[in-house]
Every structure is written in C-alpha cells, then in structure tokens.
Amino acid sequence: MNETKKPNKQGRIRAESELKIITAAQEEFILQGYRGATVQSIADRSGLPKANILYYFKNKENIYHAVLERTLNMWDQAIGDIDPAHGPKVAIEKFIAAKVRVSFEHPGASKIYAMEIIQGAQHLKEFTRTYQRQWVREKAKLFQQWIDNGEMKNVDPVNLIFLIWSSTQHYADFETQILQIMNRADYEEDDVTHVTRFLTDIILRGCGLID
C-alpha cells in the first residue's frame, strides 16, 4: 500500500514545487526581463533553494519555456474547441468570454507572452510558425465557412481573430495604465462582466450577428 501511494505523493510534491517556481519566475521575468532575471532571484522569490530550482528545470531558459508553455496551455484550455454546429455568434461569445476571464485572472501570463513577442519571439518562433499559425488558419477557415453560408457579415477572419486577441489582452498587458486612468487599485469582478459584454456587443454588431 505504501509503495503504491509514494509515487502519487512524490508527483504531487513535484507538481506543487514546479508551480511555485513557475509562478515566482513569471513575476521575475515581468519585473526584470529575461536577461535581468536570474535563477537565484527566482529561488529567492519562490522561497525554495537554488538547488531545487535547478533540480526541476536545469537552467533559466527551461524555466522561461515552462512559463510560456503555461500561458499557452491556459489560453487553449480556456477557449477549448469551437464547435461549427454552434454557429458564429456562440463561438465569438465563448472566445471573448474566455480571453477576458484569463486576462483579468492571470494578467501576468499575458504580459510575459506580450514581452516575448515584442522582443522578437526568440523562444516562441517554432510555436508561432507551427501550432499558432495552424490554429489561426483553422479558425479563420471556420469563420469563412460561416461567411460563405451567409451566417455572418463578410469580415476578414484573420483580422477578426487579431481583434479579439488584442482587445481582450489589452486589459492584462496595460493593466497598470487602465487602473491609473480609472483611479483604481485593482480590478473588480464586475469589470470582467462589463468588459465581456462591451466587447461582445461591439464585435457581434461588427460581424452582423446582432442588430
């Protein structure tokens, strides 16, 4: 009995430690950038010995890749699959709601991704060229089918996706600016609802899906 439980316990401890490290690393990369952050500073922020950090990730680059991968997985899980049978209105509503929710609940994840892209996507080039490009093409093809079937207005599908990305991630990437302008210390739960409704209404109208 003890032998069968031990791996589960070890796996749980490893998962908890890795999450702790990735969360601390995310903050360090946001504050210091990739070059400025060090394994030692990540260890200090996580409260774990440097040796533990290197045991799990070997080096800073591996930690950075893990942080980026966590962000991408988070977005994928939030959006999920878009079912063609549900039609463009439901698809866009789901897409916007998921992206807004992640931007408000995990702004650091979006900031890390934005910083990486701005700096030339050195660590994301292969991902962008393969998975992300294919994802956009598949979703754009689906929107084009709905357009051809007369289910929505004739808009550029790729730019529609770019618009949803940029408008939703703005609330994460420019969080400091928005809160300063609104004279607020932090976002509130009502903001998620308000922004989701606002963006959904504007974009659905632009796509001819509501009057």
Compute CA distances 175 → 25, 73, 162, whole Å: 19, 22, 19
User: DSSP secondary-structure letter at 149?
Assistant: T
Q: What is the pLDDT of residue 1?
A: 45
> Over the stretch 65-75, which tens digit does the pLDDT of each residue have?
888 888 878 77
Higher pLDDT, 34 or 174: 174
Q: How many CB atoms lie within 10 A of CB 33?
A: 11
User: DSSP secondary-structure letter at 121?
Assistant: -
Rounded to the nearest integer, the mean pLDDT of the chain is 89
Residue 121: which residues within 8 A CB-CB, separation 6 or more?
128
Measured CA to CA, the distance from residue 179 to residue 192 in angstroms comes to: 14
Q: How large a percentage of the chain has pLDDT more than 90?
A: 59
Angle at CA of residue 100, ends 95 and 105, nearest 5°: 130
Q: Give the dihedral of Cα atoms 119, 76, 101, 158; nearest 10 deg.
A: 70
Give 28's pLDDT tier (boundaries 50, 70, 90): very high
